[in-house]
Amino acid sequence: MPRWARGPALTTDAVWIDRGRILLVRRGRPPFRGMWALPGGFVEPNETVEQAVARELQEETGLRGAAGRIVGVYSGPDRDPRRPTTTVAFLIRGRVRPPSAGDDAAGAAWLPVRAARPLAFDHERIVRDALRLLRPERQRGRRRRGRRRARAAA
């Protein structure tokens, strides 16, 4: 009986977007070796998903960040060719710095969000969902600024 017959493995993914750029790692191992992906990985038995995403972020990019809002939970049976997985994707908060690849990442970089394709696994879907979550925040900020200007002009 396969190891994963007990159910899918639990993973986390970090979605860190800042000023039109997204933090990505270039995969150093199969599957998807050489492709860009969100930093992330398997949750250890002794940690929460929030702790796991922060640990994986630091191991793969050298950056420290904290889990913010949940982007979503992704559980498609074919999202990882190695075995069934379920991932919890988080928006990340932290101080933006240049990354340095570590652990199983062959590279790490801030790339323009619009140029961040193709991505490994189902990460393009996760990024799309994250951008949808962030869009209302940006629009609310623009509306507030517009109201302030209108009041100042009155």
Best CA proximity match to 127, nearest among 113, 115, 139, 107: 113
Q: Kindly give, in sequence order, each residue whose CB lies less than 8 Å from that of residue 102, ignoring residues fewer than 6 positions away.
A: 59, 60, 61, 62, 108
pTM of the model: 0.84
Q: Which residues of 58-86 are buried (b: 16+ CB within 10 A; e: fewer)?
A: bebbbbebebbeebbebeeeebbeeebbb
For residue 74, report the phi and psi dihedrals to the nearest 5 degrees.
-120, 125
* Tens digit of each residue's pLDDT, the chain (154 residues): 455 457 899 999 999 999 999 999 999 999 999 999 999 999 999 999 999 999 999 999 999 999 999 999 999 888 999 999 999 999 999 999 999 988 788 899 999 999 999 999 999 999 999 999 999 765 655 555 555 555 555 5
CATH class of the domain whose range is 3-153: alpha beta
